[in-house]
Structures are given as C-alpha cells and as structure tokens.
Structure 1
Amino acid sequence: MNKIFKILTWKSTNLITAFILSVLVVLSFYGVYTNSFYLTKPDNYIFPLLSIIHFLYIYVIWFKIKEDELPDPKMRNLEYALYAVMVVYAFKIYESIVVLNSVSDLQEHYIPETFFPMITTILVLYCLLFIITLFSFAIRKRQIGVYNFENFNDNLNMWQ
C-alpha cells in the first residue's frame, strides 16, 4: 500500500480526479444511443451539480495539506456528503453496465458506431472515479489525520 501512496501522491490524485470529473460532466449530456448532446434534459444536470461537492472536497484536501491544518467538522461534513455522492457514482456504474448490456435488445434499431467506445469510456471513467475517490479518503486519513473531535480544543492553537 505504501508503494501506491508513493506513486499516486495527493497532488496527482487530485489532478486525476478533477480531470475525470470534468470529462464526466461533459459526457453526462451525451446520449450514447443517438450520438448527440442533450442540454435541455433536466436529468443531465444531476451529475454536474453533485460533482460540485467533489470539486469542493478536492479543494479542501489541497488546502488542508498545503496549510498543514487539522481536519475540522466542516471537512468531515463535506466528506460525509461525498459518501452520498458516491452512491450516485455506484448507480451511474450500474446504469452504464445496463446500457452496455442493452445492445442485444436493440438489434433491430440503428446503433451508432460510437456506441461501444463511448459507453466503455464512460463506464471506465466512472469506475476510476469511484476507486480514486476511495483512495482520496485514505490520503486524507494519512496526510491530514483522522476526525478526532473529542480533544479538538486541546489541539487547537489560535496563535500559530
């Protein structure tokens, strides 16, 4: 596990996560069956709105590590919100698998040539996002510390 932490530092993990999130935000508007983008469907805006929580978590991790700060209750609450967002990520993985397996039901219909490459890319990106998010929790625990608020006031030095 230590080798993984040496290869994937907190900076590279944050950059990879930001890149994957950015690509998936754009692809959330993409229709794999029709090979076009749909900006008028309200369902397509759910993932971009929820990804704001993840982008905020990336920023908080960066800030806490850069400033060598301890974890605080706001960061803990943000991480708990990200746990809920991870349920959405798991659903998107499931949804992508269902779409990929639905091609046998649609043999009579025209399926664009980009269907398999795009749905495979989307599925891989969602899986990578899920795994790297779990890894970022481990990085937070290792670099910033655990959430120990019982003696929070004892560890707080206002004059530093």
Structure 2
Amino acid sequence: MKFFKDVLPWKWTLLLSIFILLLVDVFSFYGLYTNKFYLFKIDNYIIPILSIVHFVFLYVLWFKIKEKELSDPPMRNLEYLLYVIGIIYVFKFFDTLFILLTYNDYENYLIPDTFIPLGLAILFLYLVLLLLTTITIAHRKQLVGTYHFDDMNQHVDNWGD
C-alpha cells in the first residue's frame, strides 16, 4: 500500500475518487443487456445515494488535511459507513462480473455491441473505486491520524485539580 500512497498523492486520490464516483453514479442507471438508461427503477438509485456518504467522507478528509485537524468521532463514523459501502461496491463488482459471464447464455438473443466494452469499463470502475477507497483510508491514517478516543478526556484540565 505504501507504493500506491507514494505514486498517488492525496490530492490526486481525492480528485480521482470524485471523478470515478460520478462515473459509477451515472453507470448505475445503465442496463448492459438493453443499452439503455433506466431512471425510473428504484434499484438504480442505491449507489448514487450511498455515494453521498463517500462524497461527504472525501470532503471531511480534505477539510481535516487542509486545516491540519485531528480525527474526530463523526469522521470515524463516516469511515465505518464507508467500510459498509465498500462491501456494496464489492457486491456490485461481482454482480457486473456475473452479468458479463452470462454473455454466452443469451447468444440466441440480440445483445448490443456495447455489452462487453461497457461491461468491462464498469467492472474496471468498481475495481478502481475500491482501490482508491483503500488508498484514501491509508492517506487518512497517515495525514490525519488514527482514531484514539479512549484517553481523549484525560488531558483536559479538571476543576478538581
């Protein structure tokens, strides 16, 4: 992971994450089998709604790095939500892979020519998004710090001293 942190600085990681998230949000409405965008299916809104948490985490990380602040409990909670969303990204990666592997099952049907190229592009976007999420968390640990809240109140000046 150190290699990726050295090759990809935190600003580029944030910018690429935003770009990839926007592309994943757009392609979450795309139907591979039909080559159409479906805006009225409720299932297609899951990834864009969950990506809001990802965008908020990226903003909080950017703010903490810019202001040289330490981590806090709300940031920790956002990161824990991001772990759950990462599991959903993994599910969508394997779901897209499964759809791509069913190409030969429908050879008697008319499948669009864009099925394989766009399917591979979406698969690649989910893979890059997972990698960027991991690198972002590594940058958070390095630049903002770890989450140590057990002794947070021990350094406060008490009235009883």
- Identical columns (%): 47
Residue 26 (structure 1) aligned with residue 13 (structure 2): no
Secondary structure of the equivalent of 2:146?
A: coil
What TM-score comes out, normalization by structure 1 length? 0.93
Q: TM-score, normalised by structure 2?
A: 0.93
Please give the per-residue CA displacement for 1:103-152, whole angstroms capped at 9, x wherever unaligned: 01000000101111100000000011011101111110011000001222
1:155, CA displacement in angstroms?
6.3
Give, in angstroms, the shift of residue 153 of structure 1. Answer: 3.4
- Please state whether the residue corresponding to 1:145 is helix, strand or coil: coil
What are the within-5 Å matches in structure 2 for residues 31-70 of structure 1? 31-70=31-70
Check the 8 A contact 2:25/2:47 in 1, yes or no.
Answer: yes
CA distance in 1, matches of 2:61, 2:124: 24
Aligned to 2:95: 95
Which range moved further: 143-152 or 62-71? 143-152
For 2:11 and 2:43, how far apart are their aligned partners in 1?
32
In 2: Cα distance, 1:18 partner to 1:155 partner = 37
Equivalent AA in structure 2 for residue 46 of structure 1: I
Tell me: CA distance 1:46–1:143, structure 2 relative to 1, closer, same or farther (3 Å).
same
Q: Distance in 2 between matches of 1:109 and 1:94?
A: 23
Deviations 1:44-93 (A, max 9, x none): 00000000010001001100000000000000000000011011001001
1:4 aligned partner: 4
SS at match of 2:102: helix
Larger radius of gyration: 2
Q: Aligned partner of 1:27: which letter?
A: F
* Secondary structure in 1 matching 2:148: coil
Q: Which residue of 1 aligns with 2:159?
A: none
Q: Which residue identity does 1:110 align to in structure 2?
A: L
* Equivalent position of 1:77 in the other structure: 77
The aligned amino acid for 1:88 is I
Unaligned ranges ≥5, structure 2: 157-161
Residue type matched to 1:81 in 2?
L
Give distance in 2, aligned partners of 1:22 and 1:152: 37
Query: What is the root-mean-square deviation in Å for CA atoms of aligned residues?
Result: 1.5
The answer to which of 20-29 and 147-156 deviates more is 147-156
Mapped to 2, the partners of 1:96 and 1:37 lie a distance apart of: 16
